[in-house]
Amino acid sequence: MVLYQSVMITIIMAERKRWSKQSRTILDIIYNNEESLTASSIYDLARETHPNISLGTVYRNLRDLREAGLIRETTSGGVSVYFKHPFHNAHLECEVCHSVIPVDLMLDIGDIHRRTGHTIKRWDLKLIGTCEECERRCT
Ligand SMILES: [Zn+2]
């Protein structure tokens, strides 16, 4: 939770966007669900705390959050579904056999922004080296 909040703050600072209670609610709904959600199910859940929220507001916030890289969108059965951004994703690549292994890696985006002033919008991290098997074969 803390990680995406610091990312969100970074984005607000960068784009001078207002972090509304509604976008915070939508982000919480998405991040508290392991499953992907449709806009209408997000709308139903958001109405529990914001009875006056409109479906248009939900769509607008989903678009902003997606553009900010905080959530991802894909289609399931012809319907758009939304899920949390896999912030922890990185890949190990072997330069000998070119195998790719996903690994969990947490980066503190807020801290990186504070230290460098760089606004981070997305990442694609590959750690290149030699896998266990190739290492054994080479030595
Ligand atoms: Zn290898």
Domains of the chain: 2-84 (1.10.10.10), 89-138 (3.30.1490.190)
Kindly give the distance from the C-alpha atom of residue 34 to the centroid of ligand 1, in angstroms, as a whole number. Answer: 32
CA of 135 to the centre of ligand 1 (A): 7
Q: Find the 130 Cα to ligand 1 centroid distance in Å.
A: 5
| Residue 19 clears pLDDT 80, i.e. is over it | no
Ligand 1 centre distance from Cα of residue 87 (Å)? 25
What is the distance in A from the centroid of ligand 1 to the CA of 105? 20
pLDDT recorded at residue 33:
81
Q: Kind and range of the H or E element at 132?
A: helix 132-138
For residue 28, the model assigns a pLDDT of: 84
Taking only the tens place, the pLDDT of each residue in 84-98 is 765 546 677 889 988
CB 125 within 8 A of CB 90: yes
pLDDT in tens, 44-74: 999 999 999 999 999 999 998 887 667 888 8
Which 3-state string (H, E, C) describes 15-56? HCCCCCHHHHHHHHHHHCCCCCEEHHHHHHHHHHHCCCCCHH
**pTM of the predicted model as reported, rounded to 2 decimal places:** 0.55
AA letter at 98: H
